[in-house]
Amino acid sequence: MSTQDNTDVYAATETQTTEGTVYTLTGGDWDTLIDEEHDDRIVINMGPQHPSTHGVLRLVLELEGETVQQARSVIGYLHTGIEKNCEYRTWTQAVTFVTRMDYLSPIFNETGYCLAVEKLLGVEAPRRAQIGRVMLMEINRIGSHLVCLATGGMELGALTGMTAGFREREEVLHLLEFLTGLRMNHAFVRPGGLAQDFPEGWYERVTDFIEVMRERLPQYDKLLTGQTIWRQRLENVGYLPLDGCIALGATGPILRSAGLPWDLRKVEPYCGYEEYDFEVPVATEADCYARYRLRLAEIHESLKIIEQAAAKLKETPGPVMVEDRKIAWPAQLSIGSDGMGNSLEHVRKIMGQSMESLIHHFKLVTEGFQVPPGQAYAAVESPRGELGFHVVSDGGTRPVRVHVREPSFVNLQTMPAMCEGGMVADVIAAVASIDPVMGGVDR
């Protein structure tokens, strides 16, 4: 059909973009638009905020039919300038920023940062604080892996897996709230130790949690592990062998699923991990199903570590912060009986001491402590792999530079290698098995 001036009203106008030629259609036949260069190819956006991707991750996929020919990730939608913000706060205040990066494993962010600061200070947290850090990190690891299993199930249509995963994660968050005061973004690990000791009844709550988790974990094997559809969606999907993992810098479950038992808790122990009896689960299939099984196995190993840490903590009295008064606050923070403000004991300890003590406390809280000039790097094994902190000091009360080696950011490089040549439906499974947290990717 055409108008009187012989112009085709259904002709498509084309626009050149960074992603290639984009056609704007008003009707007509698709066959008239196909040329040799773009024959049977289409470019689509998956995300951000697509129901089948991890949050604000945008994937640009070039498809031929349902086969992915090219996959690119577009990041930065969640950038909040956390590393730069740390340069404008004291060494202690920076903890409240780094805990918000990988928001599914905040305790690891805090511990990695504090270990780097303690290297510069030349101090080591007291033994009770070290054990407490280990216990908190392993509780946090379980919560993070549960979210991975839950969101992965949701994205693949296994909605019961999603509800079960988030049900167990609530147990983790309730326990962390009891131990630290907050469900997320705790800022509980501080340079020199912990913000305060654990509340009364902590041992009973931790042992109850272990009992509940050991009772419920076998349900995941019944629900997912042996489930035919679940296996068909994950087996031989997102394959990335060991040489590919090493070339792309992948760590964590991705690397261990390819056969290399690289876990910083074993190869470069920190916080006394060498004292704990646990295994590093490894697989050789290097696919999505192997990564799923590894995370489930790691939850069992974390429960073993939590049990050992709780027993050690019960037998280890003492402070949870270094004795150096140039670093530690004169009185540890404690909360009033109404759950708000400071307790009377805290106020009496500060106000009832000498004026010099009050002034010292005020200056330490507002200005912060000085850190000797230099630079340090410290790494921990987060649920996603090696999480490293490079901190630089010029001798002042603020960091000159805080840079993070974030495993989600590095691991996301593996996405094209896992997806290209596969089906578009398998992109969802592959990205879920990478388990990127965009707060950590974009920082």
- Nearest residue to 180 via CA among 206, 207, 200, 198: 198
pLDDT band at 158 (very low <50, low <70, confident <90, very high): confident
Percent of the chain with pLDDT strictly greater than 70: 85
Cα separation, 120 vs 114, whole angstroms: 10
What's the confidence (pLDDT) of residue 80?
87
For 37-87, how does the pLDDT look when each residue is reduced to its tens digit (9 = 90+)? 556 778 888 877 665 566 788 888 888 888 888 888 888 888 888 999 989
Mapped onto helix, strand or coil, the DSSP state of residue 268 is: coil
Instruction: With CA atoms as reference, report the closest residue to 334 among 348, 315, 324, 314.
Output: 348
In this model, does residue 89 exceed pLDDT 50? yes
User: What is the helix (H) or strand (E) element at residue 95, kind and residue range?
Assistant: helix 95-98
- Single pTM value for the model: 0.83
Q: Which two tokens stand for residue 329?
A: 């606050």
Tokens 């590095």 identify what position?
410
Q: What is the pLDDT of residue 400?
A: 92
d(CA 82, CA 373): 22
Check residue 219 and give its pLDDT. Answer: 87
The CA distance from 29 to 22, in Å, is 16
Q: Is residue 191 scored above 80 in pLDDT?
A: yes
CATH of span 82-327+369-442 = 1.10.645.10
pLDDT digit string, tens, across residues 367-380: 788 889 999 999 99
Spatial contact of 393 and 399, defined as CB atoms under 8 Å apart:
yes
d(CA 271, CA 134): 7
Any idea where the domains of the chain sit in the sequence?
Answer: 13-74, 82-327+369-442
